[in-house]
Structure formats: structure tokens, C-alpha cells
A and B are shown apart, each in its own frame.
Chain A
Amino acid sequence: MNVIEINQLSKYYGKARGIIDVSFDVQEGEIFGFIGPNGAGKSTTIRVLLALIYPSSGSARIFGQDCIKDGPEIRNYIGYLPAEVYYYDHMRVIDLLRYSASFYRKADKNRIYRLAEIMDLDLNRKIDDLSYGNKKKVGIIQGLIHQPRLIILDEPTSGLDPLIQQEFFNLIREENQNGATVLFSSHVLSEVQKLCSRVAIIKEGRIIGVEDIKALHNNNYKKFKIQLAETVSSDYFNIEGVADLTVDENNHTFLFKGDINQMIAKIHDHRISNLIVEEPALEEIFMHYYEREA
């Protein structure tokens, strides 16, 4: 079953691009990554899902209901951590969290204390006195108090120190194991890689691919670094399946996806002085995505 179904969603800010024809589905029980550089349209997409902004065209459904029309109802089951966290400055953390919990039928106020302990947050301080990282913790907790069936995290880790990040990842995994579906937006690939099963890649407002992260990482691409002992034309290795080819004198570097024997045959025809074949980092795979679509 799909928890989120986004169908050709577009949002323009006046004439400026927000997102264009964004479509993807998030299945129940998965941790779905949403990745792209800053300004690509991740937050815009998420803000439409929460009916904070209205789409110019297209639609999105959550739990099978329209995210705008049925927004108030479906938001009962959504926990949302915004990219930028701002709360009522004069309130104490505990008051803000209780206020937040008061909106939900299912909120268990005792969870506040448990979550605050995990995230190492002092509940008695005033919001105004908190550092950015601590405000982020408030954001994480207010998004989880009511045990949402769908957790939407927009750049959740910025401002968190690595130790707390680890706790946070554990917390999200735990919620996921208890049945929550997670949409996790980030521009940092390594954290998406750690947590997510599938990922949608967005660039300049358009989705340029939805990939299974394991398949993407393990099987498809190999990174070749070849140093030839003789000079060949710069597009010698530019066969089908090659991407990101760079040639610097006799050093040829590229990503390759396809029959490895074909590439070995190409290499076999020339004298080589050095050869490295490795797993590309996810960053490089995505860089390739971005460049190809540019």
C-alpha cells in the first residue's frame, strides 16, 4: 500500500520554479529518502504535502486522502519536522510540547519525557534560550509525541551533533519498526544511505530518478581509474554505459554500468600502467545523475 502518492505536482512562485511535475510514491513501512541539493524543491514538495502551500497543479494523496482537502484529518497521523525550526520564543520547552500534544487525539504526554531523555533535552528551558541544535530536538520530539503513522523529516540532522544524530537515527528506526513510514529529506547522501531503502532524487524542481538504494549502491556502477602507458583518443572509453568520463593526459576516470567483460576487452587492447576498479561512493552516482540530467 502507498502511504504517499504524489501525482504530477507542480508549484510555481509567481513565474519562478518551485517544483515541476513531481511524481513518486512512498510505500507503507519504508524509510524513503528524498535527496537533492539545496533549493532543488525538497521543502516545497513537503510543504505541499502538509498543505502549508497550495500546488499550482497536480495532486498528492496521503493515506489515500487528498493532502489539501482532507489535510486537517490526515495530519492527525503525520509527524513533521520542518527544515527550519521556529517555536514560540516565550514558551518553555515543556509547555510548547504539551501544547503541541494537545492537538492530537492519540498523544501520550508521557512520551515527552522519554523522548527528551533520549534526545538529551532540558524541558524547563525557554525556547528563546535554546541553541539551534536544541530547537531541532524540540522539533524532533514534537513530531513524534503522537506516534504518527507517517513521519516527514525535512533536513532533520542539520545542527545535531554526531552523538545525538546517532540517537536520532536509532529513534527513527525504532518508530519505523513499530510501523511508521518515514519520508526523509536530505542533501547529505551518507545519512540517506544509512537509513533509507529507496530514494527519490530531485534536481532543479524535477524528479530525475527513484532508485532502490541497495541496487544503486551494490550492483550497478563501478568506478574505473585507468592509467594508460600510451595515448589514445579522449573518447576511447566513451562506450555505452560510461558516465562522468574525465581524461587527464593518460588518466581516464569514469563510472561504468553494464557488462564488465566489454570494458575489460577495451582495456586489454592497450598497455596500461595502472588500473583501479572500485565501488563508487553514492555521491558520485548522484553527481552522475545530476550531470546527465543537466
Chain B
Amino acid sequence: MIFLIYMGMLKYTGFAGAGESVTDLFDQIPAGVKSILGIGELDVTTIAGYYAVFYLYFMLLAGAHAIMLGAIIISKEERDKTGDFLFSRPVSRSRIITSKLIAALLNIIVFNLTTLFASLVFINIYHKGPAITDIIIQLMVSLFILQLIFMVVGTGIASVTKNIKRATSISAGILLTTFLISAAIDLYDKIAFLKFITPFQYFPAGETITTGGYSPSYLIISFLLIITFVIITYRFTEKRDIYI
């Protein structure tokens, strides 16, 4: 992650130096291609615009990390056949799930803070203009919400899946599907109504940069999604038969 940000900022120095000509060049790229690359209407010669392009890949990486983490942390006891050991201890299933959720939460917080600090440090090194710290922090908050959603979707899937080995592949499938839907929405305005089914569209970087806020309706949707999947995780894991 740090390396990705580093390489990205290294390229930015080249971009920013070229100035106008880059803007011209980008204007010639068809809108569709730009959408797929995550560039859209952003001005990539400004540091914020440039960073926002990267942010798309941060979302993909962070989402993949979070959903896999969620799926694995719940399913690993059965996958590694350690479930007999853990679940025969004198603790309730819900306590085990709580501990696991806290561990996963800490994990995604570390992921998020690492991205935050790496971004701030490298932008500071390669960008000599006015600081965009508040934009970065705002984007990281959106990223954190995205991580939370995917994490609990992962734990939810792992608790519901009968054949535990499929939990991770289903999770990967969901991540890719939502990402592709998000890309499709960027391409065709007509399917914008699908936005609510893909967390990648809840807090798009462009909007965050231009308006500097979060859409309240998507905050509510995020909150409801997280609560729902947490409840699913507890309910289904508690009622689950543990096999080895």
C-alpha cells in the first residue's frame, strides 16, 4: 500500500510539471475510458484530483482486504479444524465473535491509518502546493466506512455459508461484482439508481472533494448495512453446527 502511494506520487511530480499539456492529453481520452480508469471528470493535474484517481484503487484494495479478513476470521476455525478446540472452551459463541470482530476492526483501522499517513507523507514530499490534509482525512473516513461495510459483509457471509470453504470465494465474488457495478454506473448514467447496492458508490472521491461532505442518505444506508450484517454474523454463528 505504502509503495503504491509512493509510486503514485512519484508519477504525480511528472504530471504536475507537464501542466497544460497533460490536461489536453486527458481531454482527448474518451469519457468511457476515463470512467473505467476512475478518472471521470476529475482534474488530474491538481493534487486532489490526482489523489482521487488513486483513491479508487485504495477502495478496491481496502475493500478486498476487509471482506477477506471478515470472511476468514470467522471461517478459519472450521477451515483449520480448530473449531472443536475453540468452541469447546467455557465461553459463549457471542463472546468469541465479539473478540474476532474487535480484532478485525483493529486490523482495518491499522490499514486505514497506514494509508492515511503514507498519503500525507508522500504528498508532502512530492507536492509543493497548498496542503490537502483535510481532503485526505475526509477520504480516509469514507474509506473506513467502506472497510467496515465489507468487513461485516465478509463475517456475515462466513456465518451463513454452509460449506465454509466457499465463504472466501463468495466474498471475493461479491467484492468484484460490486466493483464492476460501480464501474458500470460510472459509464452509464442511466443505471445510477443501482448506486445503493455498491458501497463503492456511496462516497465517491469526486463528490467528497467538490462538496466536502458525506451524503446523509448513504451514511444511513451504510449504518443500516453494518448493523444488519453484524446481527447476521452473531445470529448465524451462534446457531451454526461446528464440523471438522
Contact = CB atoms under 8 A, between A and B. Distances in A.
Interface of A: 47, 50-54, 71-76, 78, 80, 82, 84, 86-89, 100, 103-104, 142
B192 to A, nearest CB: 43
B85 A103 contact: no
A87 B90 CA distance: 17
A86 B92 contact: no
Interface residues of B, number: 18
Interface in B204-244: 239, 241-244
Given A82-B84, A88-B80, A75 B89 contact: yes
A42 to B, nearest CB: 14
Contacts of A82: 84-85, 88, 244
A50 B88 contact: yes
B81 interface: yes
Given A52-B84, A75-B89, A84 B241 contact: no
Contact of A89 (B80, B83, B85, B91): B80
B88 A52 contact: yes
Interface string B181-199: 0000000000000000000
Contacts of A72: 90-92, 95
Contact of A80 (B82, B83, B88, B242): B88
Interface of B: 80-85, 87-92, 95, 239, 241-244
B90 A104 contact: yes
> Of A74, A84, A87, A142, which is in contact with the most chain B CB atoms at under 10 Å from its CB?
A87
B82 A86 contact: yes
Given A72-B92, A100-B89, A84 B244 contact: yes
Contacts, number: 56
Given A52-B242, A53-B242, A84-B244, A103 B91 contact: yes
A288 to B, nearest CB: 33
B90 A103 contact: yes
A86 B85 contact: yes
B244 A88 contact: no
Nearest to B91: A72
For A51, A52, A75, A104, the residue with the greatest tally of chain B CB atoms inside 10 Å of its CB is A52
Contact of A103 (B83, B84, B89, B239): B89
A276 B87 CA distance: 53
Nearest to A104: B90
A124 B168 CA distance: 33
Contacts of A78: 88, 90
A82 B244 CA distance: 10
Contacts of A73: 90
A50 B244 CA distance: 14
Contacts of A87: 82, 85
B164 to A, nearest CB: 14
A104 B83 CA distance: 18
Given A75-B88, A86-B85, 15 more contacts: A53-B241, A53-B242, A54-B239, A54-B241, A75-B89, A80-B88, A82-B85, A84-B81, A84-B244, A87-B82, A87-B85, A88-B82, A89-B80, A100-B89, A103-B91
